[in-house]
Amino acid sequence: MALTKTASTTVKSKRRRSRQPLWLIYGFMFPAVALALIFDYYPAFSGLYLSMTNTLEVGIKAQWVGLANYQSLFVNNPAFIDSIWHMAVLAVAAVIIGTTVPLIVAEMIFHLGSNRWRYAYRIVFLLKMLIPGMVIVEVWGYILGVNGVLDQVVKFLGLPGGDIAWLVDQHTALAAIVFIGFPWVAGIAILIYYAGLASIDPEILDAASVDGSQGIHRVLHVDVPLVTGQVKLIVILSAIGGFQGYFAQFLLTQGGPGWSTQVPGYFMYLNAFKYGEMGLASAIGVFLFVIILALTLINMKFIRSSQDYQAQ
């Protein structure tokens, strides 16, 4: 009996020593929470506030105007309405390209017979990440520009369209921006897909082979369903990039010709830093936030991975 009491007392004392006081735990959490509040949440809520004022410069007291900035964007600004359509086109293209091309490349690498060749090809596709995005866009501007490389190749081959100014013609400018980055092989997306494929249980792949599932049939009915979690991630990352991006417009077209390549992100930049309309720019930022949040929730709800089904 005495031994039992001694053992229980020893266990309780060890548990007491293993428990850290709450003030110490919260003390370690405080710096991270404070930084998040200062650099993440405060700018977000201040942007929401600024979107309902006529602020011209940050730090200057402005008048409360309510939803007037939103009314100005959606009722009195046809250029902004067109920019939403252009953003949707670019976002859909980014999602389609970002989810299909890297998956195809990852499948090709995954099915190589040699681990050495798999490693070598992963390195090759990652090398692209070392090139700054500005350099890539500028190179494509030279390719797609007036009398650029693409025009010269088309003329040399005797194909129609050799005189098209791809980035200057309002009928082709938006398509030319979509074409930037061809063949659209991104290193991060390939690695994400490859990691998903490598984590598939070999027994599942062996069972699929025994059942006669090979080639495209195996990819569509075995591999893709098992990397749905990676697909979900790539979809939302591609959509966010498509909605927020205006890098190519800033460097190559300035939203033109006319406003044929204008997007809300570039529209926000112009209003904030060129026209000094911080309230209007903040309203555009809030609009983009709402759109991205809604798409993220839809993506999380309707694209289900195998882990999601196992958790039910």
Q: Residue 124 is inside which H or E element, if any?
A: helix 115-126
Query: Per-residue pLDDT for 86 more than 90?
Result: yes
From the list 254, 261, 267, the residue with the least C-alpha distance to 176 is 261
Q: How many CA atoms lie within 13 A of 216 on its CB side?
A: 0
Rounded Cα distance between 281 and 266, Å, is 10
Query: Per-residue pLDDT for 290 more than 60?
Result: yes
CA distance to 137, 143, 231, per residue, from 154 (Å): 21, 12, 36
Question: Residue 35: inside a domain, yes or no?
Answer: no
Joined tokens for residue 122? 């992963």
From the list 246, 233, 236, the residue with the least C-alpha distance to 295 is 236
pLDDT in tens, 228-276: 888 888 888 888 888 888 888 888 888 888 888 999 999 999 988 888 8
Question: Residue 299: inside a domain, yes or no?
Answer: yes
pLDDT range class, residue 8, cuts 50, 70, 90: low
Question: Residue 263: inside a domain, yes or no?
Answer: yes
**What pLDDT score does 156 carry?**
77
Per DSSP, helices labelled H in 127-257 are 133-144, 149-157, 173-179, 187-198, 202-210, 215-218, 224-226, 228-244, 247-248
Question: Residue 169: inside a domain, yes or no?
Answer: yes
pLDDT range class, residue 16, cuts 50, 70, 90: low
Question: Residue 213: inside a domain, yes or no?
Answer: yes
**What pLDDT score does 311 carry?**
46
Q: What residues pair up with 64 in beta bridges, in sequence order?
A: 53
pLDDT in tens, 104-149: 888 888 888 778 888 888 888 888 778 888 888 888 888 888 778 8
From the list 126, 129, 301, 112, the residue with the least C-alpha distance to 197 is 112
Domain containing 102: what range? 69-311
**What pLDDT score does 182 carry?**
84
**Chain-wide mean pLDDT for the chain?**
81
Q: Does the bond joining 257 to the residue before it have cis omega, within 30 degrees of 0?
A: yes
**CATH code assigned at 153:** 1.10.3720.10
Q: What residues pair up with 53 in beta bridges, in sequence order?
A: 64
Structurally, the chain folds into a number of domains equal to: 1
**What pLDDT score does 6 carry?**
53
Question: Residue 3: inside a domain, yes or no?
Answer: no
Highest mean pLDDT of the ranges 55-59, 211-215, 268-272 = 268-272
Q: Which of 4-13, 89-98, 244-253, 270-279 has the lowest mean pLDDT?
A: 4-13
Query: Per-residue pLDDT for 293 more than 80?
Result: yes
Residue whose tokens read 């979809």: 235
Question: Residue 306: inside a domain, yes or no?
Answer: yes
Question: Residue 105: inside a domain, yes or no?
Answer: yes
